[in-house]
Every structure is written in structure tokens, then in C-alpha cells.
Amino acid sequence: MASIKLKGDTSGEVTISAPAVAGTTTLELPATSSTLATQNSLGVRNLIINGDMRIAQRGTTATPSTGTAYYTVDRFNFRDQNTGAYTIDQSTDAPTNFTHSTKITVTAADTSIASGERYWISTILEGQNISHLNFGSSDAQTVTLSFYVKSSLTGTFSGALQNNDYNRGYAFEYTISSANTWERKTITIAGDTTGTWLTTNGVGLRIFWDLGAASNRQITSGSWQVSSASAATGASQVIANNGATFYITGVQLEVGDTATPFEHRPYDMELQRCQRYYTKFTGTLYASLGCGPSESGWSNTPLIFPTAMRSSPTAIQSTLVAFNGSSGYSVTGIRQFSPTTTNALIQFFHTASAGQPFIIYLNSASAYLALDAEL
């Protein structure tokens, strides 16, 4: 029986030899970057949720207010300040093999950012999902961040990684070479061997894409530091240019020193992962959320969540109605009793009298009940 050996050299070439002697068939491949990060070849490679920007439960367009909040695409939050302003859109302008991106359009420039202020796009990874990175120890893993970016601006731009306590930071830089052209960027980062990194259901890792930051929110790129900075020193600032556009999609963070092709996951899988942090019950007019008995001024309805959430969520409602079979009463408020990560008893407040069963339904196509357990 002939023996066959496949040996890949460091250039990625493969040679085959088949000596005519008895033996067993063996396969040998070196553990180099040419194997496309074989340590990530099984299971979920990409630690980012909704990196292709397909899921947008909150809506497809928004204008952020001062501070940090989630507005459009799931799992990505945005920060704005008093002086500058921009809009956020879930866009269908995307590179090949993608259908969506997030688009930033500056509507009011901030050319002199006040001390302590910053503008950003960010995503937060749960501690339980980054525990295998071993950050904060001598076994810290090297990771590679990759993403597609397109802007009306060119030059050197930046971002940063941060821990939960904002006291360990790593700023990175990347270059946009051609205006209004999709480009893929790759940044390899040696894991932090010091600091405290949560491995609970709290904030494990923050990743920022800088849109503009004050000088005291910037640090030299390329190393871990004791810092709360979200940008690299001297990087271009999108917010300083009125009318500037900035698009991003295809965000991937993976173990290893090589950026592999973006991991496209099924839509239903990605939606369920997003619903761990935010679930929005919507539908057509008169879609029902549940039913329950009525007391004076309120009704109780049990609610089962579509997936286990990160923590007991906060419930938020808009234009819901309690209907008793003949009349509808606007829901003026809600509260939860003993919520868990999987279910809650929701109390809906209204002006109806006691003694009748009620159905809670959506009063318009834009009505909703949301459950928020975001980081």
C-alpha cells in the first residue's frame, strides 16, 4: 500500500509524495498563519454579534442625543456630545457579500472638541463570551479585529479596546486610502496580560471606532496602557467635517494573528443572539401580546421571552391597548413582578374598571413592547 503525505510549507504551498511502499496514510500541516487560523476553524469564530449589521430591532434611522445609547442596529451603541451632531442609518450600501452597513452622516461639525468629550461607534462583548481570551493573565490570547469601512474622508483613523473599568486601554490605527470606496481593515492585537477583565454576564470587552475625541481621550496607539481613551493620538476626526459620511460593516473579532473571511451566520441565529440583550415585540395593528384578568386600573399578563436574556430586563412600551371585548383603554404604564431572564408577569396600567378579562394588543403598526438587558 502506498503512503501519502501532504505537507504545507510556510508559503501555503502543498506537495504530495507517494512512495510505493507499504504504510499508512498521514496528513501533516504546519500550525502557521497560512492555515487560516486553524484554531478557529470549528465553532463560532466571530466574537462580534450582528457584525454584518442585518438586525435592527429599534429601527433603521436615528439622531442620537448627548450621551451613549443604542439606536439602530443591534449590539452597537453610539455616543454624541452637545456641540457636534450626526445621523445614524442602517444602510443597504455594503461591500460584496454583505447586504447592510451602518452609516454615519455628520450634520453639525465639532472642530474643537471640549476636554473629556468623545464621539464613537461601539460594541460591547459580554464577559462570558471573552473568558477564553484569558486577558489579565500570562496566557492572554492574541486577537485579530477586522472590518469593512467606507468614508468620504481619507487619512489615518482610530479606535480602541477597553475593559469594564475603563482602566486598561489599547488604541489602534487604520488608514482609509480612497474616498467613498469599501476597504477591509485588519488589526492584530496581543492580549493584555494585566488588568481586570470580567468573565461574568457584565462588560467583558468594549471596542470603539472613534468619530472624534478630545486630546485627553487619546493615547499613543499600539500598546496596552492604564487609560480610558477611546482614540489614538492625532487620528482624523470624522465629526470635525460637516457632511462627512462614515460606513462600517463586516466587523469580526477572532482568536489568532490572522483575519479569516467574515463568518456569515444564519439570520435566525443572529437574531436570537441579539434578543439576549434586547427583544422587541412588534407586529401589525391589533396583534396580541397576551391576556389576563382586570383589576381596577390594571391588568396582569404573563410573558415568556423568546430567548434567555443576559439579565432580568427592563420593560418599555409604546401605544398598547387593553381591550375587554367592547372597549379599548390606553396603557399608560407598565411594571414587572419578579422578572427573570426567561419570563415575567407584566402589569399594564389603564383606566378600565375591574372584573373583566382583557387582551393587551398593539394599537398601531409602530406600537411595541420591548425588553432591555443591554450592557
Per-residue tens of pLDDT for the chain, all 375 residues? 444 444 444 444 444 444 444 554 444 444 444 444 444 456 789 999 999 999 999 999 999 999 999 999 999 999 999 999 999 999 999 999 999 999 999 999 999 999 999 999 999 999 999 999 999 999 999 999 999 999 999 999 999 999 999 999 999 999 999 999 999 999 999 999 999 999 999 999 999 999 999 999 999 999 999 999 999 999 999 999 999 999 999 999 999 999 999 999 999 999 999 999 999 999 888 889 999 888 888 999 999 999 999 999 999 999 999 998 889 999 999 999 889 999 999 999 999 888 888 999 999 889 999 999 999
The contacts found for 54-60 with CB under 8 angstroms, 24 or more apart, are 54/99, 54/100, 54/267, 54/270, 55/267, 55/270, 55/271, 55/274, 56/90, 56/100, 57/274, 57/278, 57/279, 57/280, 57/370, 58/278, 58/280, 60/89, 60/90
What is the distance, to the nearest Å, from the Cα of residue 86 to the centroid of all Cα atoms in its chain? 19
Domains by residue range for the chain, with CATH: 5-35 (no CATH), 61-274 (2.60.120.260), 277-372 (2.60.40)
Q: What is the pLDDT of residue 292?
A: 84
Please give the DSSP secondary-structure letter assigned to residue 325: S
Query: Which of 297, 296, 285, 304 lies closest to 361, judged by CA?
Result: 285
Q: What is the pLDDT of residue 38?
A: 43
Q: What is the pLDDT of residue 232?
A: 98
Q: What is the pLDDT of residue 367?
A: 94
Give the Cα separation of 363 and 286 in Å (integer): 6
